């Protein structure tokens, strides 16, 4: 009995890091509140926000309404404008004795508008 209990705990602890990497960006209350308080936002953007999706041309405010705040922001300012890279989420990579977390999504903004993204 004691051995079975310890084995169950060990399995749980080995699976825990992998579960922590599963992320969702949906928060329907945040999305509904934003859409309700910003009727001027185009319908197609409102639809994407309510579906927890992103689309090229969204503002930073739209992306935050859809996915929430990013984990990290890297910013480059030069003569052509402001360029930002937003990182969202992490996923588990590796084995139980060697693992690391890698970003799940990179979003790229050019002068305040979503220009492109990369998922891993």
Q: How far apart are CA 69 and CA 11, in angstroms?
A: 32
More confident residue, 23 or 76: 76
Indicate the length of the chain as a whole number: 120
107: left (phi over 0), alpha (psi -120 to 50) or beta: beta
What mean pLDDT is reported for the chain? 81
pLDDT computed for residue 1 by the predictor: 55
pLDDT computed for residue 119 by the predictor: 86
By mean pLDDT, which of 53-62, 63-72, 82-91, 93-102 is the weakest? 93-102
More confident residue, 27 or 2: 27
Exposure on the CB side of residue 113, measured as CA atoms within 13 A: 6
pLDDT computed for residue 60 by the predictor: 97
Report the candidate in 109, 120, 30, 117 with the shortest Cα–Cα distance to residue 67.
30
> What proportion of the chain, given as a percentage, has pLDDT over 90?
60
Boundaries of domain holding 44: 2-119
Radius of gyration of the chain (CA): 19
Burial class (CB in 10 A: 0-12, 13-18, 19+), 115: middle
pLDDT surpasses 50 at 22? no
Report the candidate in 14, 58, 13 with the shortest Cα–Cα distance to residue 38.
58
Give me the number of domains the chain comprises: 1
Q: How far apart are CA 38 and CA 13, in angstroms?
A: 44
Name the pTM for this structure. 0.70
């Amino acid at each position: 009995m004691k051995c079975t209990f310890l084995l169950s705990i060990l399995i749980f602890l080995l699976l825990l890091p992998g579960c922590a990497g599963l992320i969702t960006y949906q928060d329907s209350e945040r999305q509904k509140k934003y859409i309700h308080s910003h009727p001027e936002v185009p319908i197609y953007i409102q639809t994407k926000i309510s579906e927890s999706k992103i689309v090229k041309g969204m503002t930073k405010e739209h992306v935050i309404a859809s996915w929430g705040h990013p984990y990290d922001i890297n910013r480059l300012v030069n003569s052509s404008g402001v360029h930002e890279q937003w990182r969202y989420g992490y996923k588990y990579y590796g084995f139980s004795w060697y693992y690391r977390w890698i970003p799940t999504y990179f979003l790229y903004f050019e002068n305040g508008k979503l220009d492109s993204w990369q998922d891993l």
